[in-house]
Structure 1
Amino acid sequence: MIALICVGRRKLAGVGECVQVWDARWDTVAETVMITQKKIRDALPAEGRGTWRDPDHPGLEMMGNQRGGSWYLRRRVDGKRIRDTLGRWPGLTVSGARKAAEALVGATALKSAAGGDPLADREAKRQEKAKRREAKTVKEALDMYAKAHLATLRSGDHAESVLRRVFAKILLVSLADMTKPDVIECVDARREAAPSAADQAVRYAKPFWGWIAARGYGDDLLVGVKVSQTNKRDRTLSVIEMGKILVALDEMGPDSPALVIRTLIATAGRLNEVAGMQVSEVEGDLWTLPPDRNKSNRVHLIPLNAEALAAISQGQGAGLVFPGRNGPYNGWSRFKSRLDKACGVRGWVFHDFRRSFATICKDRGVDAVVADRCLNHAAAGTQSTVMRIYQRSEMLDQRRAALDIWSDTLAEARGIAAGGTVVALA
């Protein structure tokens, strides 16, 4: 082994103060004391904290007990006494600690010789470490942001849900360790399954990271990142495509996600609204969607046609009609892949059924305002006052008729895809 013996202080060219350096003679001086892990352990207390000092290396010491401790190097740099942490024992052995000390002191000497300031560099590193220790995680910052800002917004709950879902992978990461690629990677992963949802996530995330930077918690990692303008979808499913999807869902049986999608299709509804359907919201053939669970922020009454009632009747929940493992089912990307494989239809999303519903209504002569009311769309800003009042009315009879037409269309599609006789559900 190499003995690390301090041979004093040497003045280096261009350096006003002296610094400790290693002498080349270390390579040839035999170690005077053979130190083993066992000897160190025997010299330390079983409990509490003790100190073992390297007899061949003044300044090198290990503080701890027989279970473990830390290596330190005490020395002077530019006349100032400092202590450096080298690593943990027993993972870092005596030999390893000596090599680490040699490298550290050698680097300090070279820095000083080059006109640098080792103490200033050391202080900068210390401050950086302290900053990292005190840094909040993404989750902690999001909790604060939700309480301080999102809680004041009408869409705050939805925004928070999107942020937690899209950035789930990095929620426990310290903001001090976050990089722009980390954030973009989460968005890109979401974009593969749902491009528009990824764009929405960026819209919510940009002010969140701006808020982080404004309060000094971290950098604004999305500055300069623009929200992609996702091409507006105009996909309308054909009757045969709708039939294939329905047949595949039927074959999945009373599986909660399959029943949710069957109800989603039958009601031309929105995924989160149907997945969160409560038993208390359904009475007979009418579903009352409360204002806090739909985008219009008002009570929305939905007549339930034969297709919807057939799916809902198979729901097995006491609170939720279609219960997941812990609340509403939310593994939709995985389920969608499974459904795509089962039905053989490609390039579609759940929302396409709402567009298909509107198309069928138009083809079957349903008033556009009635169809829009079924979809629970907000009234257009260009409409007259009379038209907006008309659209806000319930129009239950007209909507029930429109949804019955839709139910018959779905039964027809199922029959065509199955290659049999079309039988409408009673």
Structure 2
Amino acid sequence: MTTAKEELTTKRLEALMPAPVGQRYEIADTHVGGLRVRVGDAKIESTDRRRNGKAGHVSFVLLARFTPKANPTRRTLGTFPELSLGDARQKAIDWKTLIRRGIDPAEEAKQRRAEAEHRRLSRRTIGEVLDQYEADKLANLRRGKATRRALDGSCGLLADLRDREPNSISRSEIRAALRKRALTSPISANRQLAYAKAFFNWCVAEEIVSANPAQSIAKPSIERARDRHHSLDELQEIWRAAVELGYPFGHLVRLLMVLPMRREELAAMPIAEVDLGPEGATEGIWTLPAERTKRANALRVPLGPLARSIVSEAIRNEARPNKSPFVFSTTETTSVSGFAKAKRRLDRTIAANQAKAAEASGVDPVPMPHWTFHDLRTSFTTLACEELGVDAAVADRILNHVATATTSKIMRVYNKSELFEQRRLALCAWEDFVRNRVIGEESGKVVPIRAARV
């Protein structure tokens, strides 16, 4: 790189702009020792850089030694005309003074910029930081959107704090919000606390806060594994009420009883995942992709005659939008939602049917104990294993659980068999059981799996 020395003026600097692409040289100032004007750019790669404003720059640099024996070091002062010639000369004099005292002014300026950026970031609100958290972290998680709602949605743990700065949030405020949530939804409060801890841990890692205010807060509620399962009488009441609900939840609830998969997996079933077979077929297959399962594993789900008929009837139902890609939908673009509201409707229908039956019999109605849709899975496992002799490992595979019934850890790790045929036989036997003992249809005698093998 060539270097010339001349008395610089503003007009002379203006005449240097823009520099031809590919040229790079320096002009030393005669007024301030070490001050130079660099013309051009050291990293010019193509004429496209000129259009991007990278070529043709005129910048001020200071050539100085930090120690008498050290090699000269360049420090950029600024770019002309943003930095005028007079200001560049004064800045060069000031920086030379700092350098003689052993201070690197460029590093000092960099540190000040970093501190200013840190202060700016720390002044962001919880809502703004959550936007970044969602983009960086939650967007890559299967339940990322649900986690965001649990943090600052309408019922989120941090909903009332989202306009505050993260550093201003105290442990006592999070505990107060947690206690309030636990009064109505104790298990949900536990989940929200876990999400909040993960969020603030991320904030600590990103140096947004110095400590996690939720770290030492204990769960507000004790969780116990649900062991609720339905009696046959209860299953009969649920089935009758589901029929009265109509599409989509009437079909969905009945399918949950016949095919004990997870509620979200069934509710978001696209038509494209279902193979009902050729016309006249009695069984089908539902191919559940890995991204829609809790265990992140793809699974072929056998559809017995009853399950196939429910799915087929739902697809053809007049209430389903024709252009919707989902089996259960009330819009053309999304799968069905509003499970809590549908459950309340179902409970009211069950209570009304119980009242009618009790009045006809001259007795007081007996309300059904609290239950959830998830309990239908427990009911299947209990009745299928006890009444039909379904192998516990097969029942685990039907529920798409980790094979908890397998006592050997090595077997759980290495046995990746789908047990498709075993699951198909078990589900067909379960459908016969439902037809005879729940719906009341006479489809033939229910033969337990164990007896059928013999």
Q: Deviations over 1:40-69 (max 9, x none)?
A: xxxxxxxxxxxxxxxxxxxxxxxxxxxxxx
Name the SS of the counterpart of 1:157 in structure 2: coil
Percent identity reads 29
| Aligned counterpart for 1:336 among listed residues 329, 335, 343 | 343
1:369 and 2:393 equivalent? yes
Decide which of 194, 210, 226 is 1:203's aligned counterpart. Answer: 194
The one-letter amino acid of 2:329's match is P
The offset of 1:258, in angstroms, is 2.9
Matched residues in 1 for 2:373 and 2:234: separation? 13
* Residues 1:180 and 1:172: Cα distance change in structure 2 (over 3 Å): closer
Residue matched to 2:132: 144
Amino acid at match of 2:135: K
Deviations 1:56-94 (A, max 9, x none): xxxxxxxxxxxxxxxxxxxxxxxxxxxxxxxxxxxxxxx
Query: Residue 273 of structure 1 aligns with which residue?
Result: 265
Q: 1:307 to 1:423 in 2, by over 3 A?
A: same
Distance 1:398 1:311, change over 3 A: same
Count of residues paired in the alignment = 282
1:222 to 206, 214, 225: 214
The residue number in structure 2 matching 1:383 is 408
Quick check: 1:188 aligned with 2:213?
Answer: no
Partner of 1:70 in structure 2?
A: none
> Could you tell me how far 1:321 is from its partner in structure 2?
1.1
Q: With the length of structure 2 as denominator, give the TM-score of the two structures.
A: 0.55
Q: In 1, distance between residues paired with 2:181 and 2:306?
A: 36
Equivalent positions of 1:48-197 (< 5 A) are: 134-138=123-127, 140-150=128-138, 156-165=141-150, 167-169=152-154, 170=159, 173-176=162-165, 179-180=173-174, 183-184=177-178, 187-188=181-182, 191=185, 195-197=186-188
Name the structure 1 match of 2:239: 246
Q: CA deviation at 1:243?
A: 1.2
- Which residue of structure 1 lines up, in the alignment, with residue 441 of structure 2? 422
Kindly provide the amino acid, as one letter, of the partner of residue 132 in structure 2. Answer: M
CA displacement, residues 318-367 of structure 1 (integer Å, 9 cap, x when unaligned): 31111144622231222212212212333111111111111122111111
Partner of 1:27: none
401-410 or 174-183, which deviates more: 174-183
Secondary structure at 2:142's aligned position in 1?
A: helix
- Structure 2: state its 5+ residue gaps: 1-118, 277-283, 352-367, 445-454
Q: Please give the secondary structure, in 1, of the residue aligned with 2:132.
A: helix
Instruction: Look up the equivalent residue of 2:217 and give its one-letter code.
Output: V
CA RMSD across the alignment: 3.2
Give secondary structure in 2 for the equivalent of 1:206: helix
The alignment partner of 1:323 has SS state of: coil
Instruction: Quote how far apart the aligned CAs of 1:147 are.
Output: 3.1
2:138–2:148 CA contact under 8 A, matched in 1: no
Task: Give the equivalent residue in structure 1 for 2:19.
Answer: none
Instruction: Give the corresponding residue for 1:74.
Output: none
- 2:250 maps to what in 1? 258
- 1-structure distance, mates of 2:304, 2:239: 16
Structure 1 position 410, deviation (Å): 2.4
Q: Structure 1 pair 291/159, CA: closer, same or farther in 2 (3 Å)?
A: same
Equivalent of 2:226 in 225, 230, 233: 233
Letter in 2 for 1:331: G
* Structure 1 counterpart of 2:380, from 347, 357, 360: 357
Maintained 8 Å contact 1:275/1:322: yes
Per-residue CA deviation, residues 241-283 of structure 1 (Å, 9 max, x unaligned), is 11111111101112x2332222222210101111110110000
After superposition, the Cα gap between the structure-2 partners of 1:267 and 1:131, relative to the gap in structure 1 and judged at 3 Å, is same
What is the Cα deviation at residue 201 of structure 1? 3.0
C-alpha separation in 2, matches of 1:238 and 1:164: 36
Q: 1:327 aligns to what?
A: 334
SS of the residue corresponding to residue 143 of structure 2 reads: helix
Higher relative contact order (CA 8 A, sep 6+): 1
Question: 1:424 deviation in Å?
Answer: 4.7
Taking structure 1 as reference, are residues 265 and 198 closer, same or farther at Cα in structure 2, changes over 3 Å only?
farther
The 1-side partners of 2:411 and 2:215 are apart by 45
* Inter-partner Cα distance in structure 1 for 2:153 and 2:253: 25
In the alignment, the residues of structure 2 paired with residue 218 and residue 341 of structure 1 have an alpha-carbon distance, to the nearest angstrom, of 51
* Whole-angstrom CA distance in 2 between matches of 1:358 and 1:395: 16
Q: Does the C-alpha gap of structure 1 residues 131 and 184 become closer, same or farther in structure 2, counting only changes over 3 Å?
A: farther
Are the equivalent residues in 2 in contact too, given 1:305–1:407 (CA < 8 A)? yes
Post-superposition Cα deviations, 1:194-220, rounded to whole Å, max 9, x if no partner, equal: x54442332222211333456336984
2: CA distance, partners of 1:400 / 1:199: 37
Question: Distance between the aligned counterparts of 1:145 and 1:133, measured in 2?
Answer: 14
SS in 2 for 1:327: coil
| TM-score, normalization by structure 1 | 0.58
Mapped to 1, the partners of 2:253 and 2:210 lie a distance apart of 41
* Stretches (4+) displaced over 6 A: 130-133
CA distance in 2, matches of 1:361, 1:288: 23
